[in-house]
Structure 1
Amino acid sequence: MSGGHSRSGWWWLAGGGLLVAAGLIAGGMLFGGPEAQKLTAIASLLTALAALVPSYVGMRRQRKKITPADREAALADLAEDLRRQWAAEAAVRAVRRPAPIRVRWSATGHPVNASPAAVLGAAAVPSTPSRLNLSGDVADVAAKYRKLPNRQLVVLGEPGGGKSTMAMLLVLDLLADREPADPVPFLVNLAPWHPGEALHDWLARQLDREHAGLGGRAECLRFLASGRVLPVLDGFDELPGWHQQDALAAIDEAVDGGKPLILTCRTREYLDLLTRTRSPLANAAVVELAPVTAEDVRTFLDVSTDARPRWQPVLDRIRAEPGGELALALSTPLMVSLARTVYAEPGTEPAELLALPDREAVQRHLLEAFVPSLYPERDPRYPVADVVEWLTVLACYLGHWEINGIAWWELHYALPRFRSWLLRLLHPGIPLGGLLGLAVGGAAEHWLDLRLAWLPGAAAGLALGLLISFRWPPETPRPVSDEGVRSARRSALFPASNVAVLVALVTFVGLPEFITVPLPAGAWVLGLLAVLGAGATVWVVSYGHNLREQPLDFDREPGELVRADRRYARSHLPEQAWFGLVGALLAVAGLLGTAHSIVGLGGLLVVYLCLSLRLRFASATFALTRWLMAADGLLPRDLLDFLHDAHQRGVLRRAGPFYEFRHALLQVHLAERRWVNWV
Structure 2
Amino acid sequence: MDDPGSSTHNKVVAGHISGNVVQAGVVESVTVVAAARPRDEVEAVLEVVAGLSGDLWQRTSHTWEIHPEAPVRVSWSRDDELSVEDERPLLSEPVITRLYEDLFVREGLRQVILVGEAGAGKSSAMHLLYKKALDERADKGDPRAPVPLWLTMSDWDPASLDLTAYAVRELLSLPGLRRRDGLTRRMAELLVRRGRIALFLDGLDEMPTGLRAKAAAQVNRATHGGTRVVVSTRPGKRGGDKDIERFRWPEVVRLNPVDVPTAVEFLLHKQTGQDRPAWRELADYLTANPDSALAKALRTPLTINLIRHAFPHAGSSQEKPLDLVRDGLDTPAKITTRLMGLFLDRAYSTEGVTGRFRRARKTAQHARERATLAWLARRLGAKRDIAWWRIPLEVEVESLRVKSALLVAVPVLAVVLAGSAVFGWPEPWGLAAVPVGVACLVTFRIVPRAVLRAPATLAWTGPSPADLRHTTRVWLLGGLLFGGMAVVSSGNWWAMVAIAGMFVVMGLLGAGYGQGVSGGLLGSATRDLTDSPSVTPHNAFRADRRRTVVAAAVGAVAACAMCAPLGLFDDSVASGLVWGVGMGFTGGWVSGLGPAWLLVVARPSFKGPARPYRFTPTLRSALDKQVLRQAGLVYQFRHAELQVYLQRSG
Letter paired with 1:364 = T
Q: Distance in 1 between matches of 2:340 and 2:456?
A: 34
Match of 1:86?
57
Q: Distance in 1 between matches of 2:342 and 2:259?
A: 24
The answer on whether the counterparts of 2:552 and 2:592 sit within 8 Å (CA) in structure 1 is: no
Match of 1:658?
634
Q: 1:501-530, CA deviations, whole angstroms, 9 ceiling, x for partnerless residues? A: 999xx99xxx9xxx9x9x96xx45335424
**Alpha-carbon distance, 1:166 to partner:** 1.1
CA 1:231–1:418: 2 relative to 1, 3 Å: farther
Q: Distance in 2 between matches of 1:587 and 1:425?
A: 28
Q: 1:164-220, CA deviations, whole angstroms, 9 ceiling, x for partnerless residues? A: 111111211221112322222222332222232323323333333343627355544
**Alpha-carbon distance, 1:262 to partner:** 0.9
Q: Distance in 2 between matches of 1:222 and 1:324?
A: 56
CA 1:479–1:583: 2 relative to 1, 3 Å: closer
The answer on whether the counterparts of 1:393 and 1:635 sit within 8 Å (CA) in structure 2 is: no
Secondary structure in structure 2 of the residue aligned to 1:105: strand
1:629 equivalenced with 2:603 (yes/no): yes
CA 1:219–1:646: 2 relative to 1, 3 Å: farther
Q: Distance in 1 between matches of 2:381 and 2:367?
A: 21
**Alpha-carbon distance, 1:558 to partner:** 3.5
Alignment match of 1:143 (pick from 83, 97, 101): 97
Q: 1:30-81, CA deviations, whole angstroms, 9 ceiling, x for partnerless residues? A: xxxxxxxxxxxxxxxxxxxxxxxxxxxxxxxxxxx97543443333233333
TM-score w.r.t. the length of structure 2 is 0.66
CA 1:630–1:101: 2 relative to 1, 3 Å: same
Letter paired with 1:74 = V
CA 1:81–1:638: 2 relative to 1, 3 Å: farther
1:331 equivalenced with 2:290 (yes/no): no
1:268-667 mapped onto 2 (5 Å cutoff) = 268-269=236-237, 271-272=239-240, 274=242, 279-302=245-268, 303-306=270-273, 307-345=275-313, 346-347=316-317, 348-355=319-326, 356-377=329-350, 380-381=361-362, 383-399=365-381, 402-404=383-385, 406-416=386-396, 474-480=453-459, 484=460, 488=462, 523-530=492-499, 532-541=501-510, 542-548=520-526, 557-573=536-552, 575-577=554-556, 580=559, 611=586, 614-617=589-592, 620-630=594-604, 638-667=614-643
Letter paired with 1:69 = D
Q: Distance in 1 between matches of 2:614 and 2:235?
A: 39
CA 1:233–1:554: 2 relative to 1, 3 Å: closer
Q: Distance in 2 between matches of 1:101 and 1:245?
A: 31
Q: Distance in 2 between matches of 1:315 and 1:531?
A: 83
1:69 equivalenced with 2:40 (yes/no): yes
**Alpha-carbon distance, 1:381 to partner:** 4.2
Q: Distance in 2 between matches of 1:338 and 1:73?
A: 44
Letter paired with 2:521 = Y
Secondary structure in structure 1 of the residue aligned to 2:70: coil
Letter paired with 1:207 = L
1:154 equivalenced with 2:117 (yes/no): no
Q: Distance in 2 between matches of 1:331 and 1:239?
A: 26
322-331 or 544-553, which moves further after superposition?
544-553
CA 1:501–1:418: 2 relative to 1, 3 Å: closer
Q: Distance in 1 between matches of 2:238 and 2:152?
A: 17
1:164-203 mapped onto 2 (5 Å cutoff) = 164-178=123-137, 179-196=142-159, 197-203=161-167
Letter paired with 1:374 = A
Match of 1:20?
none
Alignment match of 2:212 (pick from 217, 221, 244): 244
The answer on whether the counterparts of 1:237 and 1:269 sit within 8 Å (CA) in structure 2 is: no
CA 1:626–1:141: 2 relative to 1, 3 Å: same
**Alpha-carbon distance, 1:566 to partner:** 3.1
**Alpha-carbon distance, 1:350 to partner:** 1.3
Q: Distance in 2 between matches of 1:208 and 1:283?
A: 29
Q: Distance in 1 between matches of 2:464 and 2:627?
A: 45
Larger helix fraction of residues: 1
Q: Distance in 2 between matches of 1:502 and 1:470?
A: 31
CA 1:494–1:615: 2 relative to 1, 3 Å: closer
The answer on whether the counterparts of 1:558 and 1:640 sit within 8 Å (CA) in structure 2 is: no
The answer on whether the counterparts of 1:479 and 1:561 sit within 8 Å (CA) in structure 2 is: no
The answer on whether the counterparts of 1:184 and 1:228 sit within 8 Å (CA) in structure 2 is: yes
Letter paired with 2:335 = V
Letter paired with 2:288 = A
Identity among equivalent positions (%) equals: 23
Secondary structure in structure 1 of the residue aligned to 2:225: coil
State the structure with bigger RCO (CA 8 A, min sep 6), 1 or 2: 2
Secondary structure in structure 1 of the residue aligned to 2:457: coil
640-649 or 384-393, which moves further after superposition?
384-393
1:220-231 mapped onto 2 (5 Å cutoff) = 220-231=188-199
Q: Distance in 2 between matches of 1:411 and 1:491?
A: 37
Secondary structure in structure 1 of the residue aligned to 2:339: helix
Q: Distance in 2 between matches of 1:258 and 1:134?
A: 30
The answer on whether the counterparts of 1:78 and 1:211 sit within 8 Å (CA) in structure 2 is: no
Q: 1:72-96, CA deviations, whole angstroms, 9 ceiling, x for partnerless residues? A: 3333233333334434655533242
The answer on whether the counterparts of 1:375 and 1:384 sit within 8 Å (CA) in structure 2 is: yes
Q: Distance in 1 between matches of 2:238 and 2:588?
A: 46
216-225 or 253-262, which moves further after superposition?
216-225
Q: Distance in 1 between matches of 2:65 and 2:629?
A: 11
Letter paired with 2:123 = S
Q: Distance in 2 between matches of 1:534 and 1:142?
A: 62
**Alpha-carbon distance, 1:289 to partner:** 0.9
**Alpha-carbon distance, 1:531 to partner:** 5.2
Secondary structure in structure 2 of the residue aligned to 1:350: coil
1:266 equivalenced with 2:234 (yes/no): yes
Q: Distance in 1 between matches of 2:462 and 2:281?
A: 67
**Alpha-carbon distance, 1:134 to partner:** 7.9
Letter paired with 2:149 = F
The answer on whether the counterparts of 2:502 and 2:558 sit within 8 Å (CA) in structure 1 is: no
- Residues paired across the two proteins, number: 519
Q: Distance in 1 between matches of 2:497 and 2:591?
A: 34
**Unaligned stretches of 5+ residues in structure 2:** 1-35, 354-358, 407-440, 511-519, 568-578
The answer on whether the counterparts of 1:141 and 1:170 sit within 8 Å (CA) in structure 2 is: no
The answer on whether the counterparts of 2:263 and 2:304 sit within 8 Å (CA) in structure 1 is: yes
**Alpha-carbon distance, 1:613 to partner:** 5.9
Match of 1:211?
175
The answer on whether the counterparts of 1:627 and 1:637 sit within 8 Å (CA) in structure 2 is: no
The answer on whether the counterparts of 1:142 and 1:174 sit within 8 Å (CA) in structure 2 is: no
**Unaligned stretches of 5+ residues in structure 1:** 1-64, 109-115, 427-461, 589-603, 675-679
1:665-676 mapped onto 2 (5 Å cutoff) = 665-673=641-649
Q: Distance in 1 between matches of 2:455 and 2:474?
A: 34
CA 1:228–1:280: 2 relative to 1, 3 Å: same
